[in-house]
Chains A and B, each alone.
Chain A
Amino acid sequence: MSAQTTTGGVAERKVPPTSVRGAAMRGVVARPGQEAVEAKGWLRAHKWLLLRRASQLGILALFLLGPWFGWWIVKGNLSSSLTLGVLPLTDPFLIVQQLAAGHWPYREALLGGGIVLAFYLLFGGRLFCSWVCPVNLVTDAAAWLRRRLGLKGGKAPAGSTRYWLLGFVLVIAAATGALAWEWVNPVSMFHRGLIFGFGLAWGIVGGIFFYDLLIAPRGWCGHLCPQGAFYALLGRASVVRVSAARRSACNDCMDCFAVCPEPQVIRPALKGVGQDHPLILDADCTTCGRCVDVCGKDVFRITTRFNRSES
C-alpha cells in the first residue's frame, strides 16, 4: 500500500532529497529500480545483483559439492580452505585474531591469509561482504522485506560501532588467549553451519534477520559486523570502485539511496560534497553495484579508482 505513495511523493518533502537523513525520513522507497527496469529492461536493471548472487551461491556451491556429492574441489570453509589439494586460503581476519591471541600459525595458513589479503587489498576489501559473505543474503533479504513492508525508521547504532567492536575483538582475543569472537561470529558460524551442520546457530542467523528487519535498518552489516569493518580497512586503497560518472544526469529519484547498504558513501560522489571527482572512495562501499542497476539514468558504473572522468 505504501509502495505507490512513497515513489510518487518525492518532490513535495522539505528535507533535501539527496541527504541520507532525507531518505530515512521519507521512509524507504518500496520498489526502487522501477524506472530502471522501464528504461533498461529487467535484465540490465538486475545485472550486478544477478552476478553477485551467482558469486555468493557459486562459492557456497563449491564448498558444498564435497559434502553433498563427494566432489572435493574445495575443502574446509571460509575460515580456511584447501582448493584442489594445493591452494590454501585463510581468512586474514582469523589470522589477525590468532596473532592477537598469541598463536603463530603454520606456513599454509599464513600463505593462504596472504593470498586473500592481497586480493582484497587490491580489488576492494568489502567485496567480501557483498560478493562472498553468506550473511549478505540474509541481510539483503531483511532489507528487501523491510522495503516491501514499508517498515520505516528503527534504531541502528552508530556506524563506527563496528570499528570499536573490531578493536575490542582483538583486545578480548589477547586478554583471553583464545579466538573469543569465533564463539559468536555469525559470519563464520553461518558459513560453517551450511557446510558442517548448524546446531542452534540458526538462532543467531535468525536473530540477525529480525534485528535488521525490525530494529535496525542494515544494522548488522552496516553498523556492527567487525569482520566487515576489518575488510573495510583493507579496502581503503582498493582499485575497483564505483563512480557516479554521469552524475549530471541524476534526477534525484533516490533509488540508489534506497538500495545502498551504506547510503552515506553515495553523496560525496554524486553531489560533489567535499570532493570534486565522481568516485566513491569511501571504504565502507561494498562495490555491490546495486546503485548501477537501479539507476534509470545510468549515472553509476563500476570502474577503477584512477578513472576520475565524468561524462
Chain B
Amino acid sequence: MNEKVQPTGRAATSAPSPRRRFLKDAAGVAGGAGLLALGAGMYAKQASALPATAIRPPGALPEDDFLAACVRCGLCVRDCPYKTLKLAELGDGVATGTPYFEARDIPCEMCEDIPCVVACPTGALDRALTDIGKARMGLAVLIDQENCLNFLGLRCDVCYRVCPVIDKAITLERIHNPRSDRHAMLLPTVHSEHCTGCGKCEKACVLPGESAIKVLPIRLAQGSKAEHYLRGWEEKEAAGKSLIGDQVELPVRGLEDKAYGDTRVGPGESPQVPDYKPAQPAGGGLDSGWKP
C-alpha cells in the first residue's frame, strides 16, 4: 500500500526510499497531532475540577458523565426564565461552555416544569427528573457558625424563611444558649434528604459579602457513611426490637418523669433537686433582678 504514496514535488530529490520517507513524515505528523490532542486532553482533565460554588442545573448527570454528554449549546440557559444559568466562559474556572450557576448571584427558583431539563437535547440534564423536589444540585451547609446571626443568638432565620422546602430541608433547632445561659438559640439545620441545592438560602443570607450558609457539591458537603457502622436506633426501628436486647435504664435524679435520655429542661422547669441554686458569677456583681 505504501507504493501508492503520491510522489510529491521533492520525492525524487534525495536518498531514502519513498516508503521510509512516508513512514518518517507520517510518524512526525502523527506525533505532533497526538501531542496537541494529549495537551487538550490533559488540560480538559485538569480543568474539569468544578469550583465548589459552581452548581450544575437540576437533573445534571454526575460530573464525569455530564462532561461526556453536554455539547455546550446553551439551550438550558435560554429556557431558564430567571437567567439563573449561564455558560462558562474561558477563564471562569468551569469547563468552558458548560452551564452552571452561582447561588449567591442568582439561585435556582425550582420551576415546577423544569424548563432547563426539557430543553436539553443530549440528556446531559436527565429527563428522569420530573419532580423538582427530587433535584440534588448540591447541598446547603451552614458553613460559618461564627458569623451566622442565629448562632449569635439572634432571630435572623432568613435562610429558613426563604427555603422552598421550609421545615423539611431547613429546620430551626432550639438549643440552650451557653453564652447568656438564659436564652435559646434557634439554629438553622439542613437535612440532606430534602435539600435540593437550589441556593435560595445562600442568596438570602443577610451577611454582607460571603454567605454563612452555602450550597456545596454533595461530594464536599457530606462525609461518607461508614458501611460497617450500624445505627442502633435505626436497626431497632427496622427490626421492631433492639438487636442486642433491652438495655437497663437507670433513672436520672430530678428527671424521673421524663422520657429516658431526655435531659432537656424547658422554661419554668427546673431539675427537682432540693436546695438548687444557680451558680453566681465570681466576685459578686450587680443582680439586675431580671428573670427569664
Contacts and interface: CB of A to CB of B under 8 A. Distances in A.
B81 interface: no
B44 interface: yes
Interface string A181-201: 111100011001101111111
Contact of B89 (A109, A176, A201): A201
Interface string B13-37: 0000000000001101110111011
A168 B33 contact: yes
A76 B74 contact: yes
B106 to A, nearest CB: 15
Given A19-B9, A76-B75, A188-B97, A193 B122 contact: no
Contact of A158 (B29, B73, B119, B127): B29
A179 interface: yes
A103 B41 contact: no
Interface in B104-128: 119-123, 127
B9 A75 contact: no
Contacts of B77: 196
Interface residues of A, number: 63
B60 interface: no
A199 B89 contact: yes
A81 B79 CA distance: 12
A80 B75 contact: yes
Given A66-B78, A81-B73, A200-B91, A182 B97 contact: yes
A180 B89 contact: no
B44 A165 contact: no
A150 interface: no
B71 A98 contact: yes
Nearest to A80: B73
B47 interface: yes
A182 B26 CA distance: 26
B33 A88 contact: no
Interface in A121-154: none
Given A164-B34, A183-B47, A192-B87, A102 B68 contact: yes
Given A164-B29, A179-B70, 14 more contacts: A75-B79, A76-B74, A77-B73, A103-B65, A105-B122, A106-B121, A158-B25, A161-B32, A165-B36, A169-B37, A177-B64, A182-B96, A189-B96, A200-B89
28 contacts: A20-B9, A66-B78, A76-B74, A79-B73, A80-B121, A82-B75, A98-B68, A101-B67, A103-B122, A105-B122, A106-B127, A108-B122, A109-B121, A164-B34, A168-B33, A169-B40, A172-B44, A176-B41, A176-B44, A180-B37, A183-B44, A183-B47, A184-B43, A188-B97, A199-B88, A199-B92, A200-B89, A203-B90
Interface of A: 19-21, 66, 72, 75-77, 79-82, 88, 90-91, 94, 98, 101-106, 108-109, 112, 157-158, 160-162, 164-165, 167-169, 171-173, 175-184, 188-189, 192-193, 195-201, 203-204, 224
